[in-house]
């Protein structure tokens, strides 16, 4: 089997490459990225291509499966650039899959694609995927779900799988995640349990997480198995204010949701951090996911707990952990994070 992974150098992509390489039925892997990495991976060759403008068909020809992971979260202040990659670029990937006659497509959707839903019980994959309107990430994920619906209807001979993971963490992604969501002003040594004094005690601040290596295994199963459709991907336990308080040794402090959002909006407007307040809206809005279908039909079971994955990420942030691939490397931000500052904290890359 030959697999092509689009967006292979990020948090999830590196885990997917590892999972595919460990599969005896996978003979070769082509990793596609905007920038060629220095790191070597088993069974993997690399090619540079931009999904917005590059020739994808020639890279897809002869593949048995394409795994589409490429996605932009920054620059958060340039919505047109984000949409060109996230929505238009995804559509180009799907069209190239059809033109190259690839028999299977696996797409990285997200919990963020879901419409607002319950936090006190879990929903399955039939929950509406119309997104959270105030979050660009959620809007784009929902829009690509509609593009994929049309693609499936027009290409019934292609097996399409869409995974909807929760928040994805691992130690090696710590530097990349810090750059994307926290920005250059967060002192890495202070991000550790015992030094986080409080957590917001908000009823709807309940979310799911999963380790990146477990997500990589889910993509391997989707790419190599005989399944189709959507699968929720998350580990236990669900994380809320009380769980986070115990995990961090912090005190849950009651807080109105509007105050949390206002703080995110003000710090983003002042360019103190790169994440617009829509991320708060999405965190409070999306439902808790039921992963029964992934366990029973995909054959997927997470090996790591959600709270352990979060602690591993925080440990990696404290140590500025990463790997030598541009999105994850600690050196990407430059000395004293000067490159991040030059980009305007959420400005154009």
Number of domains in the chain: 1
Residue closest to 91 by CA, chosen among 144, 31, 168: 144
Question: Is residue 255 assigned to a domain?
Answer: no
Pairing type for strands 159-165 and 198-201 reads unpaired
Query: Which whole number is the average pLDDT over 24-36?
Result: 96
Give residue 138's pLDDT band: very low, low, confident or very high (50, 70, 90).
very high
Question: Is residue 99 assigned to a domain?
Answer: yes
Question: Is residue 44 assigned to a domain?
Answer: yes
Q: Any long-range contacts for 131-135 (C-beta under 8 Å, 24+ apart)?
A: 132/278, 132/281, 132/282, 132/285, 132/286, 134/277, 134/278, 134/281, 135/278, 135/279, 135/281, 135/282, 135/285
Domain that holds residue 135: 2-247+262-342
Query: What CATH number does residue 138 fall under?
Result: 3.40.50.720
Give residue 183's pLDDT band: very low, low, confident or very high (50, 70, 90).
confident
Query: 134-173 burial by CB neighbour count: b if 16+ within 10 A, else e?
Result: bbbbbbbbbbbbebbeebbeebeebbbbbbbbbbbbbbbb
Q: Model's pTM, two decimal places?
A: 0.92
Question: Is residue 222 assigned to a domain?
Answer: yes
Mean per-residue pLDDT of the chain:
92
36 or 162: which carries more pLDDT confidence? 162
Question: Is residue 203 assigned to a domain?
Answer: yes
Question: Is residue 267 assigned to a domain?
Answer: yes
Chain-centroid distance of CA 142 in Å reads 14
Q: Tens digit of pLDDT for each residue in 76-119?
A: 999 999 999 999 999 999 999 999 999 999 999 999 999 999 99
Question: Is residue 180 assigned to a domain?
Answer: yes
């Amino acid at each position: 089997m030959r697999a092509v992974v689009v967006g292979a150098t990020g948090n999830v992509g590196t885990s997917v490459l590892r999972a595919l390489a460990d599969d005896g039925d996978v003979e070769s892997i082509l990793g596609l990225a905007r920038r060629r990495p220095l790191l070597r991976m088993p069974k993997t060759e690399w090619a540079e291509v931009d999904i917005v403008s590059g020739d994808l068909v020639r890279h897809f020809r002869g593949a048995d499966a394409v795994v589409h992971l490429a996605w932009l979260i920054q620059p958060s202040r340039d919505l047109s650039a984000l949409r060109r990659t996230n929505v238009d670029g995804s559509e180009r990937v799907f069209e190239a899959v059809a033109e190259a006659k690839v028999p299977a497509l696996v797409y990285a959707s997200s919990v963020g694609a879901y419409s607002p839903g319950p936090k006190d019980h879990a929903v399955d994959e039939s929950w509406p995927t119309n997104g959270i309107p105030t979050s660009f990430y959620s809007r784009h994920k929902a829009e690509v779900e509609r593009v994929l619906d049309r693609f499936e209807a027009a290409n019934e001979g292609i097996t399409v799988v869409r995974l909807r993971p929760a928040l994805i963490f691992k130690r090696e992604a710590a530097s990349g995640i810090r750059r994307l969501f926290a920005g250059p002003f967060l002192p890495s040594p202070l991000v550790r349990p015992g030094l986080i004094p409080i957590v917001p005690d908000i009823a709807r601040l309940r979310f799911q997480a999963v380790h990146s290596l477990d997500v990589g295994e889910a993509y391997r199963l989707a790419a190599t198995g005989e399944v189709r459709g959507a699968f929720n991907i998350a580990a236990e336990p669900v994380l809320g204010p009380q769980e986070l308080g115990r995990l961090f040794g912090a005190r849950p402090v009651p807080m109105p949701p509007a105050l949390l959002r206002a703080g995110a909006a003000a710090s983003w407007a002042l360019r103190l951090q790169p994440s617009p307040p829509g991320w708060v809206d999405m965190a409070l809005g999306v439902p808790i996911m039921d992963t029964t279908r992934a366990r029973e039909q995909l054959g997927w079971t997470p090996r790591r707990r959600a709270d352990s994955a979060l602690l591993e990420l925080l440990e990696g942030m404290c140590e500025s952990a990463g790997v030598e691939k541009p999105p994850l490397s600690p050196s990407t931000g430059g000395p004293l994070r000067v490159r991040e500052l030059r980009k305007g904290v959420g400005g154009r890359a």
